[in-house]
Amino acid sequence: MFNLLKTAVLMAAITALFMAIGSLLGGQQGMLLALIVALGMNFFSYWFSDKLVLKMYNAQQVDETSAPQFYRMVQQLAANAKLPMPKVYIINEDAPNAFATGRNPDHAAVAATTGILRTLSERELRGVMAHELAHVRHRDILISTISATMAGAISMLANFAMFFGGRDSEGRPANPIVGLMVAILAPIAAGLIQMAISRAREFEADRGGAEISGDPRALASALQKIHQAAQGIPLEAAERHPETAQMMIMNPLSGGGLRGLFSTHPSTEERVERLLAMSVAPAH
């Protein structure tokens, strides 16, 4: 519930930031133009995201004949989650990772690398795939697309201001110093909010995945194994297409330093801690 509330607050914050920046830098016409362009760009990504990302990763669709154990696992978990059966894919990559894609539960797909199939036990893999199905159930592709649209529109407005000068809500030239500061800081603020939304959705998918699989400890163990194994094994497709890294159960491109604020995923330690707390919480 907390993560749902946090997501709602962050979505409201990025919308309010867009309205404020639009009024200050672009005026009403500039704000509308930026929103329309960003919506167009992200609508295409949202509608075709499953086909695009699966092609980028050279994912191969499997069924009950070609990968019976894995396919039936996903089938059972989808039934637990009361979801339509998604398409199932395997990616020939040594790095252990997995993701979900698709614009809604009726057009969903889940994918796992050969590395994660080798690295995890059956229980742990169930936890991971349940996490991905939780993303499908929560419609996280839609949420991330909306936040990306707002962040993209804010960046576009900032570019307008940088090159053409900002306008206030009545179309008059904005204060150039204020306009320049906002043009520089607004995209950073929008990006931070967008990343915070992504982290909140990961926590919620962990919680939902633990409920779908009924085994929060298995997901916690899987996250620890993925984190450890992924340190020395690059996910080559993600390196070629870094914009897709946020879709993974663990970001394969995240580094150290200030990653707490600038990461699309929470720290593995905090995710594991929350899952272990779920495993010992009294049943209601």
Cα separations in angstroms, 229 against 130, 134, 194, 251: 20, 24, 28, 13
C-alpha torsion sign, points 51, 57, 61, 67 = negative
| Contact call for residues 257 and 245 (beta carbons, < 8 A) | no
**Has 211 been annotated as catalytic?**
no
The residues near 233 (Cβ < 8 Å, ≥ 6 apart) are 94, 95, 96, 115
Token digits of residue 206: 């962990």
Q: Which of 93, 124, 132, 202 is catalytic?
A: 132
Instruction: Count CA atoms closer than 13 A to 63's CA, side-chain side.
Output: 1
The SS3 call for residue 84 is coil
| Contact call for residues 233 and 50 (beta carbons, < 8 A) | no
C-alpha torsion sign, points 209, 80, 116, 243 = negative
Query: Where are the extended beta strands (E) located within 55-199?
Result: 60-62, 87-91, 98-101, 109-113
Q: What is the rounded distance in angstroms from the CA atom of residue 238 to the CA atom of residue 247?
A: 10
The residues near 170 (Cβ < 8 Å, ≥ 6 apart) are 27
Q: What is the rounded distance in angstroms from the CA atom of residue 211 to the CA atom of residue 278?
A: 9
Q: Which amino acid is at 167?
A: R
Active site residues: 132
